[in-house]
A and B are shown apart, each in its own frame.
Chain A
């Protein structure tokens, strides 16, 4: 009787303590006659132990402040953690915006769609795709170059139906290369491209398609190799994409945010 093959599911249930005492003893007895099954059980047991060895040290790590803060009920917008100085500046800007939009915020906090499936791709994803498509282009990264900036502004503003002007990022070491028009989910969107002294490129994606109006927090997303900071301000959605590290991109995104707040 002990030579009957042991079903796979019993091996796992045996190892994980899911069997009744009687069946546990039965499997244990049969394993003696099934060395191959016994070896597998031991291999799975070793996996379990190794997973604990590998990940248990995380339990002893100090908790990031951003997470600790989130253990308490949020008082206002759910902010992503950023360097403290940029958070303060953003908080100051948001405080002003919040005065007029308190009702909207409450609605936002209460409601989030359960799933993004079936909806158009979200802003950071679109922006990141546009970034990886155009930023590596050596010969034609933009449609209209920075040398014709006024033409670029006039053209994009006309197509988007609202004034869209590229921010100046010289203070954070980035210079405008130019811009282009792109198709968004339902109409045109603008992309501005910048580079620094080393040739590192970043793109600013400006959409005017936001109608859901459900998010104005400064948020971070990673799309493969591309880091994206984005926020939504009224009908405008802004996304800064680049391959640089998160904190450097946060510095640039804050500069962009500040300039659009002034407009």
Chain B
């Protein structure tokens, strides 16, 4: 592995990790762990293959390990746990602060696919290879992730109904 090639990937790894993990600190810890693990697995790196995909795959596996160990106040969030208030009118313009909060509410597996498509411009086939999941699963996670995100954002943009006080 070439240090310069890794250095060149770092900004993108950090961007993806930030979006996936939420905070700057958690993201940089994740990138750091990814690099440490990558160096221990140098022997498995195939020259000429896609370095970014390889690093993202390592990051993904680390993340799975992390998520298997429940944090103290267990805030696991599965799809059933997301509550959707009533549908509101549609707005195409998305406020970034709302988006960040909405993204954090998605199950991690959906968030990962969504981000690999949106931030990394990866094809569905590349994502399937990186995450070691079947192509059909990429599609279903993407579809559910986008739809969940849309509904969370729509619910947020609903105007608060005014009460008439007599």
Residues of A bordering B, CB below 8 Å: 8-9, 12-13, 16, 18, 39-40, 42-44, 46-48, 50-56, 58-61, 63-64, 66-68, 70-74, 78, 80-81, 109-112, 114-117, 121-122, 125, 128-129, 132, 220, 222-226, 246
By size class, the interface of chain B is 35 or more
Main secondary structure of the interface of A (DSSP, over half): helix
CB distance from A73 to the nearest CB of B (A): 6
- Selected from A12, A13, A47, A222, the residue in CB contact (under 8 A) with B150 is A47
Q: Do residues A73 and B115 form an inter-chain contact, with CB atoms below 8 A?
A: no
Interface assignment of B87: CB less than 8 Å from any CB of chain A: no
Q: Do residues A47 and B94 form an inter-chain contact, with CB atoms below 8 A?
A: yes
Interface assignment of B11: CB less than 8 Å from any CB of chain A: yes
CB closest residue in chain B, given A115: B65
CB closest residue in chain A, given B99: A50
Q: Could you tell me the distance between the alpha carbons of A46 and B72 in the complex, rounded to whole angstroms?
A: 35
- Selected from B15, B35, B39, the residue in CB contact (under 8 A) with A67 is B35
Q: Do residues B146 and A224 form an inter-chain contact, with CB atoms below 8 A?
A: no
Main secondary structure of the interface of B (DSSP, over half): helix
- Selected from A48, A112, A132, A246, the residue in CB contact (under 8 A) with B72 is A132
Q: Could you tell me the distance between the alpha carbons of A252 and B118 in the complex, rounded to whole angstroms?
A: 42
B1-56 residues with Cβ-Cβ distance < 8 A to A are: 1, 3-4, 6-7, 10-12, 14-15, 18-19, 25-26, 28-29, 31-32, 35-37, 39-40, 42
